[in-house]
Structures are given as structure tokens and as C-alpha cells.
């Protein structure tokens, strides 16, 4: 089981969420909590937006907790939108090209979960990837294949529909091969402005996904926090598991829903594979 977080809002040093607080993402990677039985030591990745349209990546095959470069970068780099992902391999090789987030142009993608029976389905799924996208597949994970299917199905113009078609296609392909519940996922994707976060599984029993509470509400709840006071009202964090211990800070995304973090009011919509 992987762990991830997506941050959008006032620029902060990455270390604020990755390293510093109790139950930070890196702390989570070291200490299994919430019933996860294995550690997340199979590499990690960070993707962040700076001045350019295209995000930058730092991805490593070492455990996040003992990577010194990660600590340096997390302290030295501030960003208004970043993704971080900590990997527990479900079987594919431990290599940089298999670590999340994946990037295509100005898009990022990361995934917690798996496509069941992926070794058997891989060929058929890859065949459905658009010819022009095929050569940018560099690794061997189910997650990267899903990303390229979503791009094929129009991620850049209508992200929710594209992911719905992707999941529908994977489920159909899987079921044809006798796999009962092909998809288990929480997925985050972004174009550098809006963040889409999906929670879905074929069996209706998806891994956890949380949105931070609206900043104005949170500030009202914790007027003493100078840290919160510095964050814009539009600041949001989406995580696979809650960070820190701030009461009232986290709201679970319901089954089969997609949350959309965007300028103006955020949205929560039902998600249904097509």
C-alpha cells in the first residue's frame, strides 16, 4: 500500500508536510499505522510546480526516511502545488521509472492501489495506449499504464470523463480475463492549477482518502495557530491518510467520488466508470 499527498495553496517549503510534523508523510513511511502491515520503503517521488508550466520531479529508489537529498530539497524548495508519493511495490521492479508521480507535459499523476492481474492484462492495456504516447512509457507499473490510458482517453481536456473511461476500460478488460475486481485506487492528477483526487474500487471498498477542511473553518477552530493563519483560504491538502493530529482537520472522501481542488469553490462529485 502506497501513501501520497497533494498540496495546493500558499507556497510552503515541502518539508512542512513531508518531514516536519508528527505523522508527516515520511514518518508514515517508517511506522506502519492504520493497519497497514508492510512498510513503504520501495522508493518515493516528489513533483512540484515552480516558475515554469512544467513541474519538476525528484524520484528515488531509496526509502524516503533515510534519503538525505530529500530532506535538503524539502527544506530548500517551496511550492504552491506539489505531489508526494511513497511506494510499497506490489511486485514491479524498484526503479526510478516506476516511482510516482508520473509526468506528461504539465500533468502529474500518482496512484495508491493496483490493477489486479496486471501482468496478464498489461499487453492488452498497453495496446490501447495512443501511438504517440506509447514511447513515453518508461516503466512497468500498472499506475503508469493507467496514466497513459487516461491521457489517451482525454485527460487533458476532460479529466473526470477520461478517468471514468480508463477505469471502465480496465474493468472490462479485466473481467473478460476472469478478474472479479480489477481496480483498486486512489488517484491524484493535476495540470498545475486544478487537482483531481479519485477514490474508487471495483469492489466498492476503496483505500482511504482525505481532504483537509476549508481553511476558514480550520482557522476558526484553531484561532491560536499562527501556522494556519499564514495559509490562504484556498489552501487544501489531499492525503491517503491523515497527517498530524489537528482535530477537525480531515474529512474522508466517500466511496466512488472525485474531489476537485480549484480556484473558487472546490467540488465533490460522484465517480462512475464508463
Which of these segments, 42-50, 106-114, 219-227, 239-247, binds a second copy (CB under 8 A)? 42-50
Q: Of 73 and 179, which CB lies nearer to a second copy in the complex structure?
A: 73
Q: Of 55 and 242, which CB lies nearer to a second copy in the complex structure?
A: 55
Q: Which of 53, 72, 180, 227 binds a second copy (CB under 8 A)?
A: 72
Residue 261 near residue 195, CB atoms below 8 Å:
yes
The C-alpha atoms of residue 250 and residue 218 are separated, in whole angstroms, by 10
Count CB atoms within 10 A of the CB of residue 224: 8
Q: What separation in angstroms does the CA of 192 have from each of 4, 7, 40, 117? A: 17, 11, 26, 32
Q: Which of 1, 28, 63, 153 binds a second copy (CB under 8 A)?
A: 63
Nearest distance from residue 176's CB to a second copy, in Å?
14
Q: Which of 11, 20, 36, 56 binds a second copy (CB under 8 A)?
A: 56
What lies within 8 Å, CB to CB, of 87 at 6+ separation is 2, 40, 42, 43, 44, 45, 98, 99, 100
Q: Is the dihedral of CA 162, 163, 166, 171 positive or negative?
A: negative
Q: Of 36 and 160, which CB lies nearer to a second copy in the complex structure?
A: 36
Q: Is 224 in the site for a second copy (CB under 8 A)?
A: no
Q: Is 95 in the site for a second copy (CB under 8 A)?
A: yes
Q: Is 10 in the site for a second copy (CB under 8 A)?
A: no
Residue 246 near residue 210, CB atoms below 8 Å:
no
Q: Is 123 in the site for a second copy (CB under 8 A)?
A: yes
Nearest distance from residue 129's CB to a second copy, in Å?
8
Which of these segments, 52-60, 143-151, 169-177, 248-256, binds a second copy (CB under 8 A)? 52-60
x/- binding map, residues 126-155, to a second copy, per CB under 8 A?
xx---x--xx-xxxx---------------
Q: Of 38 and 232, which CB lies nearer to a second copy in the complex structure?
A: 38
Residue 18 near residue 40, CB atoms below 8 Å:
no
The closest alpha carbon to 235, from 261, 254, 257, belongs to: 261
Nearest distance from residue 93's CB to a second copy, in Å?
5
Q: What separation in angstroms does the CA of 11 have from each of 7, 212, 215, 217, 234? A: 9, 16, 15, 20, 12
Main-chain phi, psi angles of 153, to 5 degrees = -90, 10
The C-alpha atoms of residue 168 and residue 153 are separated, in whole angstroms, by 11
Which of these segments, 45-53, 157-165, 169-177, 243-251, binds a second copy (CB under 8 A)? 45-53
The C-alpha atoms of residue 244 and residue 25 are separated, in whole angstroms, by 9
The three three-digit cell numbers of residue 26, written as one number: 515520511
Q: Which residues bind a second copy (CB under 8 A)?
A: 30-32, 37-39, 41-42, 48, 50, 52, 56-63, 65-66, 68-69, 72-73, 75-77, 89, 92-97, 119-120, 122-123, 126-127, 131, 134-135, 137-140
Amino acid at each position: 500500500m502506497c501513501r501520497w499527498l497533494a498540496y495546493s495553496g500558499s507556497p510552503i517549503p515541502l518539508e512542512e508536510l513531508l518531514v516536519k510534523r508528527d505523522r508527516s508523510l515520511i514518518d508514515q513511511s517508517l511506522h506502519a499505522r492504520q493497519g497497514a502491515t508492510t512498510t513503504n520503503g520501495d522508493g518515493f517521488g516528489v513533483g512540484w510546480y515552480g516558475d515554469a508550466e512544467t513541474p519538476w520531479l525528484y524520484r528515488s529508489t531509496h526509502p524516503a526516511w533515510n534519503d538525505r537529498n530529500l530532506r535538503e530539497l524539502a527544506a530548500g524548495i517551496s511550492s504552491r502545488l506539489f505531489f508526494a508519493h511513497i511506494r510499497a511495490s506490489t511486485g514491479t521492479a524498484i526503479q526510478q521509472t516506476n516511482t510516482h508521480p508520473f509526468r506528461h507535459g504539465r500533468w502529474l499523476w500518482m496512484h495508491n492501489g493496483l490493477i489486479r492481474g496486471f501482468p496478464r492484462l498489461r499487453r492488452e492495456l498497453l495496446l490501447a495506449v495512443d501511438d504517440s504516447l506509447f514511447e513515453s512509457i518508461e516503466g512497468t507499473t500498472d499506475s503508469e499504464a493507467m496514466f497513459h490510458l487516461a491521457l489517451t482517453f482525454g485527460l487533458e481536456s476532460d479529466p473526470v470523463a477520461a478517468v471514468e473511461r480508463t477505469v471502465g476500460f480496465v474493468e472490462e478488460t479485466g473481467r473478460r480475463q476472469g478478474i472479479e475486481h480489477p481496480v483498486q485506487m486512489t488517484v491524484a492528477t493535476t495540470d498545475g492549477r486544478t487537482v483531481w483526487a479519485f477514490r474508487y474500487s471495483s469492489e466498492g471498498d476503496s483505500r482511504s482518502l482525505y481532504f483537509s477542511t476549508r481553511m476558514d473553518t480550520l482557522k476558526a477552530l484553531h484561532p491560536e495557530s499562527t501556522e494556519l493563519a499564514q495559509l490562504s483560504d484556498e489552501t487544501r491538502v489531499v492525503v491517503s491518510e491523515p497527517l498530524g493530529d489537528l482535530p477537525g482537520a480531515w474529512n474522508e472522501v466517500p466511496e466512488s467520488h472525485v474531489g476537485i481542488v480549484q480556484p473558487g469553490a472546490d467540488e465533490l462529485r460522484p465517480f462512475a466508470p464508463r
